[in-house]
Amino acid sequence: MFDFFWNLASFVVALGILVTVHEYGHFWVARKNGVKVERFSVGFGRAIWRRTAKDGTEYVLAMIPLGGYVKMLDERVDDVQPEDKDKTFNSKSVYQRIAIVAAGPLANFIFALFAFYLMFLIGVPGVKPVIGDIVPSSIAAKAKLTDNSVIVSIAGNVTRDWQEVNLALIAQIGNEKITIKTKQTDSQYVTSFILDTRNWQFSPDKTSALTSLGITPFRPKVHNELSAIAKESPAALAGLLVGDKLIAVADVKTSDWLSFAKEIKKFPSAEVFITIERNGDILTLSVTPDSIEQAGKIVGFIGVAPKVDAWPETLLIELKYGPIEAIKESALRTWNLTTLTFGMIGKLLTGDISVKNLSGPIGIAQGAGASASHGFVYFLGFLALISINLGIINLLPLPVLDGGHLLYYVIELLTGKEVPEKVQEAGFKFGAIALLMLMAIGLFNDFSRVLG
């Protein structure tokens, strides 16, 4: 239940920030072009807070935080006094209207630049992308990739940590081959490998790009021994102690930590017997795991942590830059994510990526909660990513979005005439249906992941 409210709160904060940024772009440029703004609303529905400024603009915070709008004076929908006719949106030149409409998505890209800039100024902890194991007979194994090697680039893109590796791999979905360059951890000699990805089966909702290729990242060894026990947890109440070695759960042998955790999850709120080794003695203890929600399922949880070897210092990095260098890095990250997103949209249209991979508000909320729980730097990165996606989505040529309005204005520029109102109305209806269908697909995918 805590996860639900944490994700919800993170989602509301993230969306509130990004909607405000987007709408402020429209608002600022409209005011600069002499358009009277009647209302600036973050959210839809009933107002929970409102204030009217001296210039007559009403600022509103509404109950449903799934968007926002800037209401500008317009003769096509408002009764306008003669002295205000030059302050209407429709009275402005087509170039001014294009600037006002385009300012929303542009503000999202500017915000992403700013968020990434702060992120790189603060510093992003990371781990060098060292391959731990290669799964036999996998795509990576057939390409003869080797373990204990560092991935230095993918398809020409430099990869300094695992996040950059994942982004670079996702950009290659639909391609028939991927070039990966690696070097041994104790060498500077770079080797190139070509992965045959014609039969690459990758479902982002089920596995990672790395796993689907047969690449397992290096991780410090996790021992089947307890290093921490939460106070008043089921484990503490059962008498488990730090240093206990885990042997079996309900007579099922657990040779490693993952198998132990897997078995415990099967017993939410149900008594189970755990076999342990303590100071050379074999003991059997009764424990009743708590019930928690994990990935949409109720699982058992006893409140323990395993002993884990420390990360080698040579593999830990921090992507941190000075005020000037951070500008370059933030611009590069924004550009890479923008091109990646456009590429993903193109691959959706060509069928290289299934619509099953689309996420709705539930998926975004889970991402917001996860990033916020990791810390402010990671939440900044999440905000930047979603801001870029929001900017791009609004540029799609659907009439209900900014991109649809821009399409009409480009046609007006080329023909010298406004698009007829009947055509615009038909376009708005089509755009609304298309957008609702996309939202429905996203929600369906969200529920399928949660319930599946």
Percentage of residues in the chain having pLDDT higher than 70: 90
Q: What is the pLDDT of residue 120?
A: 94
Percentage of residues in the chain having pLDDT higher than 90: 47
Task: Provide the b/e sequence for 22-40 (b: ≥16 CB within 10 Å).
Answer: bbbbbbebbbebebbbebb
Task: Provide the b/e sequence for 159-189 (b: ≥16 CB within 10 Å).
Answer: bbbbbbbbbbbbbbbbeeebebbbeeeeeee
Check whether 204 has a pLDDT greater than 70.
Answer: no
352-368 confidence digits (pLDDT tens): 666 565 665 555 656 66
**What is the pTM for the complete model shown?**
0.80
Q: Which of 23, 164, 263, 329 is catalytic?
A: 23
- The tokens describing 358, both together, are 């689309």
Fold adopted by 124-218+312-319: Pdz3 Domain (2.30.42)
184 falls in which pLDDT band (50, 70, 90)?
Answer: confident
Catalytic residue at 23?
yes
351 falls in which pLDDT band (50, 70, 90)?
Answer: low
Residue 298's φ and ψ, nearest 5 degrees, are -90, 120
Q: Tell me if 124-218+312-319 shares its fold with 222-308.
A: yes
Q: What is the pLDDT of residue 294?
A: 74
The ranges assigned to domains in the chain are 108-123+322-452, 124-218+312-319, 222-308
- The tokens describing 140, both together, are 């990576």
Can you give the C-alpha Rg of the chain in angstroms? 27
Q: What is the pLDDT of residue 366?
A: 62
Give the Cα separation of 321 and 425 in Å (integer).
Answer: 50
Q: What is the pLDDT of residue 81?
A: 83
Which of 231-235, 404-408, 435-439 has the lowest average pLDDT? 435-439
- The tokens describing 176, both together, are 């028939």
Q: Please count the residues of the chain.
A: 452
- CATH architecture label of 222-308: Roll (2.30)
